[in-house]
């Protein structure tokens, strides 16, 4: 009798285990498959649009460093791209829409996506001319998008680390870490407009005081800041991490996108014979 009960219990446990494995597989595998599909899609974008700069004749007039990349902006013609973000092996186009939710789950071409796109805050100037511009990206479980912001760059060994933004006007802008802060969604640290220089200076001081580790860039009334933001935890969390960089270098590295003047004219309100294609 005792052996029969043990056998029944073992069978029930086996059924439960197999059922759990099946359920998890049913729920998780499609998600992992989707992640892989989207990761491959972004890899294709990189292969088509980004290359390492060389010393070809057409590039001799530009200030090219060994780690400079060049972006084929014509691949993004008609899309709402505002920059290419590059930090170590993290490289993605940065999009913008007046609706901040639009690119949360859309690829640069507008197709639906779990991982979405990196995107500039809808109220920020498209040319990053604001004092503080926010770029958002998902904290993906596979480390893609901004997944490494919380897993990697909160470590003090990244003191004074840098990231680059390449703009369609042909320039490379390098930013050095100024602060790395843990906060929450909707906090007053998500500030993009400052009524006075004093309030802007106070904001920088506050960010530096809250930083997980010290960085060299100092508070500066003329500072140009770009802040990277992502979730600091699992899906649905209210926690956020912000990595704020201060611009330390601007270099001309390639010719502007053919559509750049049209983009400028559109936002400056000038009339043109040839309308911008969207």
| Torsion over CA: 248, 260, 82, 68 (sign) | negative
**DSSP helix/strand/coil, 80:** coil
How far, rounded to the nearest angstrom, does the alpha carbon of residue 48 sit from its chain's CA centroid?
A: 19
Neighbours of 50 (CB within 10 A): 17
**Contact predicate 240/185, CB 8 Å:** yes
**Contact predicate 109/115, CB 8 Å:** no
> pLDDT digit of tens for each residue in the chain (278 aa)?
555 666 665 655 656 555 444 443 444 434 445 556 777 889 999 999 999 887 554 556 787 888 999 999 999 999 999 999 999 999 999 999 999 999 999 999 999 988 899 999 999 999 999 999 999 999 888 888 898 998 899 999 999 999 999 999 999 999 999 999 999 999 999 999 999 999 999 999 999 999 999 999 999 999 999 999 999 987 778 999 999 999 999 999 999 999 999 888 887 765 544 444 44
pLDDT on residue 254: 93
pLDDT on residue 156: 97
Q: Report the number of secondary-structure helices (H) and strands (E) in the chain.
A: 4, 10
pLDDT on residue 8: 62
Q: Where are the alpha helices (DSSP H) in the chain?
A: 2-49, 147-151, 197-210, 260-268
**Contact predicate 183/211, CB 8 Å:** no
**What topology does CATH give the domain 47-268?**
Sortase; Chain: A; (2.40.260)
Where in 116-264 does DSSP place strands (E)? 118-120, 132-136, 162-166, 171-184, 225-231, 239-252
187/98 Cα distance (integer angstroms): 21
Look up the pTM and report it: 0.84
59/72 Cα distance (integer angstroms): 14
pLDDT on residue 142: 82
pLDDT on residue 141: 81
**Beta-ladder partners of 175:** 163, 247
């Amino acid at each position: 009798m005792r052996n029969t009960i043990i056998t029944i219990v073992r069978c029930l446990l086996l059924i439960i285990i197999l059922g759990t494995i099946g359920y998890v597989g049913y729920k998780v595998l499609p998600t992992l498959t989707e992640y892989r599909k989207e990761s491959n899609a972004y890899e294709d974008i990189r292969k088509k649009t980004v290359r390492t700069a060389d010393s070809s004749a057409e590039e001799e007039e530009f200030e090219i460093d060994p780690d400079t990349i060049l972006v084929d902006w014509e691949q993004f013609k008609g899309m709402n791209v505002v920059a290419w973000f590059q930090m170590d092996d993290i490289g993605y186009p940065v999009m913008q829409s007046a609706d901040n939710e639009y690119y949360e789950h859309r690829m640069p071409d507008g197709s639906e996506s779990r991982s979405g796109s990196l995107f500039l805050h809808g109220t920020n100037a498209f040319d990053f001319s604001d004092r503080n511009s926010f770029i958002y990206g998902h904290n993906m479980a596979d480390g893609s998008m901004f997944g490494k912001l919380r897993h990697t760059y909160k470590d003090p060994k990244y003191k004074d680390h840098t990231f680059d933004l390449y703009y369609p006007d042909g320039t490379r802008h390098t930013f050095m870490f100024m602060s790395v802060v843990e906060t929450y969604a909707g906090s007053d640290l998500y500030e993009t407009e400052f009524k006075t220089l004093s309030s802007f200076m106070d904001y920088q001081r506050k960010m530096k005081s809250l930083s997980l580790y010290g960085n060299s860039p100092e508070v500066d009334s003329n500072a140009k800041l770009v802040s990277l933001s992502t979730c600091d935890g699992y899906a649905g969390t209210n926690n956020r991490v912000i990595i704020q960089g201060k611009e330390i270098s601007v270099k001309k590295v390639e010719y502007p996108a053919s559509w750049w003047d049209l983009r400028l004219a559109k936002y400056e309100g000038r009339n043109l014979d040839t309308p911008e294609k969207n």
